[in-house]
Amino acid sequence: MRELGRRLAKLLRAGDLVMLSGELGAGKTTLTRGLGEGLGVRGAVTSPTFVIARVHPSLGDGPPLVHVDAYRLGGGLDEMEDLDLDVSLPESVVVVEWGEGKVEELTEERLQVRIHRAVGDTTDEVRHVTVTGLGERWASADLSALAA
């Protein structure tokens, strides 16, 4: 998952919204850790479950990474207004774990990453990942670089 995040980082630019979904323990935060490495941002990328969001500034000339965990948020975008994601999005890469039904209104152009692993099978570390680009930004993007 970490390597997938590093590969995905090469495709991302400021203004991109990435929505991650999958079961608990599927690898959403691990993928985001790889994104942070690939984007060259400051700070350890860890789960922002209790703080809701963390901003990781770029160590170079790339965009900062805004990492959001919407798991504990029940409502839609209205409940997330205090995070100012609409303000951060144009100059950042915004990654939202558990964002379905909550942040789609931010932009019609987003990358949806669904991670599936066999629940309850602790011996199977294989993940099946589906990456779907939505909107004009992703219409002609070559996502083949993400294939394992």
Quick: pLDDT tens for 4-13: 999 999 999 9
d(CA 83, CA 54): 10
CB environment 30-63: b (16+ within 10 A), e (fewer) = bbbbbbbebbebeeebebbeeebbbbbebeeebb
Cα–Cα separations (whole angstroms), residue 39 to 20, 21, 109: 17, 21, 20
Quick: pLDDT tens for 52-90: 788 889 999 999 999 988 876 666 555 555 566 666 778
Quick: pLDDT tens for 109-131: 999 999 998 666 555 678 899 99
d(CA 86, CA 94): 10
Query: Tokens in use for 26?
Result: 């599927």
**Predicted structure pTM score:** 0.86
* Residues 97 and 125: beta-carbon distance below 8 Å: no
